[in-house]
Amino acid sequence: MSQLTIEGIGTFEVAENKRLTIALIENGGDPLHRCGGNARCTTCKVQFLAGEPAEMNEAEKNKLAERGLLGEYRLSCQILCSQDMHVKVANPFGPSGLSDAGPTLSETIPSA
Ligand code: FES
């Protein structure tokens, strides 16, 4: 288990290696995830306040670079809860005005 702190929401115990987007959904973080966790939309992006993973997969790196977000945000759908983390959800579903947050994510990160 690791601890996930969601800014403005609270701190939660999450299962080791759970996808961060799913952990956020399950614990009230309410992130958009419009591409279903495939590193295409960036709506699941978060800012790390602590515990940012050192590693970044190619899909995440390429998409963040393409959108000019590298160094500022991380894609929660490409990150596993492998250590204690403190994040701020950039695009919560609640105020988005959209009809749904996005398709259900698979339990594992799809390979690029
Ligand atoms: S859900 Fe689309 S990039 Fe993460």
Ligand 1: atom nearest CA of 44 is 4
Sequence-separated (6 or more) residues with CB below 8 Å from residue 38: 59, 77, 110
CA of 73 to the centre of ligand 1 (A): 12
Distance CA 38, CA 99 (A): 20
- What integer pLDDT is reported at residue 111 of this predicted model? 79
Mean pLDDT of 45-64: 98
pTM over 0.85: yes
CA of 13 to the centre of ligand 1 (A): 23
Round the average pLDDT of the chain to a whole number and report it: 97
Ligand 1: atom nearest CA of 40 is 3
**pLDDT tens per residue, range 3-22:** 999 999 999 999 999 999 99
Q: Topology of 2-94 in CATH?
A: Ubiquitin-like (UB roll) (3.10.20)
CA of 11 to the centre of ligand 1 (A): 23
Tell me whether residue 13 is exposed, middle or buried, using C-beta atoms within 10 angstroms of its C-beta: 0 to 12, 13 to 18, 19 or more.
exposed
**pLDDT tens per residue, range 61-92:** 999 999 999 999 999 999 999 999 999 999 99
What are the sequence ranges of the domains in the chain? 2-94
Which of 22, 40, 63, 74 to mutate to test ligand 1, by most ligand atoms within 8 A of the CB atom? 40
Distance CA 110, CA 91 (A): 22
